[in-house]
Every structure is written in C-alpha cells, then in structure tokens.
Amino acid sequence: MAACVALVAGWFATGHASAPDHGLLQLDVLSLDEPVPGLQAVDGRPTMVVFTCPQEQPPVRALDPAYGLTISTDPALARAVALPRASACEDGYVLLDAHSHVRYRSYDPGWPSHAQEQEILLAALDGGHRMGGM
C-alpha cells in the first residue's frame, strides 16, 4: 500500500491530472460516428489521421499498410476534431472508418510507438464493429 501511495504521489508530483483529458486519454472505446468536412479515409480504408504541430518532424510510419495514415498540421481541422492542443505539439489522432466517419479520437503524444493499439481499433472498424449498449 505504501508503494501505491508513493506511485500516486509521484503521479501528481510530476504534474499529471487525476483524469488526463477528462478521463478520455487512450480509452479505446469507439463511441463516435460522425463525418467531419475535410477528413477523408485513404482509398476507402480505415484511416488514422494524426494531428501535430508544424514544428514536428514527420514521424516514421509505424502502422500496418493495410490502413491509411495521414498527418495534419491544420489547426482548424484539429479544433474540428476536438484536439486543439495538437497545434501546440501535443499530438493526437482520430480514426476514420471506411465511410470517412470519425469513430475515435484521443490525444497520444507517444502515438508512433503505439501501433498495436491503433491497429486493433482500426481492425475493429474494418470488420464493421459497432459499439453497443451506450
């Protein structure tokens, strides 16, 4: 228990919130289903759209080529998908299904090394998965 108290103290001491991004950080729930003008799935495939700042170097592609991947530095588009801090280099991404509907959105500054997480969600979109029981 003492170790956990220390871990929690460390969490807050390093400036983290009790609920990062209002508890929505990398929650992995496909709760959205809406189109956003300006966002298009690549070749009709489930697509990941990363939002970052213009100062960032384009990252090495780390996603299965079966899925689309695009990078956007457009602040207006970032705001449209509720990722306004992406313009300040706090990267985030949205996942589009084959119909170009936004199905998932999350901040994730470490996204280039989290391909497995993204591919699981994209695969669920590819299989016509729909969330039930909201």
Partner 1 sequence: MRRGAVLAAYAGLAVLQAGIVLAYLGRGTWWHYLLHQQVGWGLGLAAAATWMALRAGSYVPPVGAASAGQLVSIVPDLMFRYLRMPHEPSMDLWLGHISIHRGPSPVLVALGVLLLGGTAWLAAARGRSRPALSAAAAAVVLLTVACLLAEELPKRLADYAEAS
Residues in contact with partner 1 by CB under 8 A are: 1, 4-5, 7-8, 11-12, 16, 18-32, 34, 36, 79-82, 84, 102, 105, 108-110, 113-114, 116-117, 120-121, 123-124, 129, 131-134
Nearest distance from residue 89's CB to partner 1, in Å? 16
Q: Phi first, then psi: give them for residue 35, nearest 5 degrees.
A: -80, 150
Residue 27 CB: number of other CB atoms within 10 A? 12
Q: Looking at beta carbons only, is 20 or 44 nearer to partner 1?
A: 20
Nearest distance from residue 57's CB to partner 1, in Å? 19
Listed residue (114, 116, 110) closest to 56, CA to CA: 110
Q: Looking at beta carbons only, is 44 or 109 nearer to partner 1?
A: 109
Nearest distance from residue 82's CB to partner 1, in Å? 3
CB-based contact 100:9 (threshold 8 Å)? no
Nearest distance from residue 26's CB to partner 1, in Å? 6
Q: Looking at beta carbons only, is 61 or 129 nearer to partner 1?
A: 129
Judge residue 14's burial from the number of C-beta atoms within 10 Å of its C-beta, 0-12 exposed, 13-18 middle, 19 or more buried: exposed
CB-based contact 46:126 (threshold 8 Å)? yes
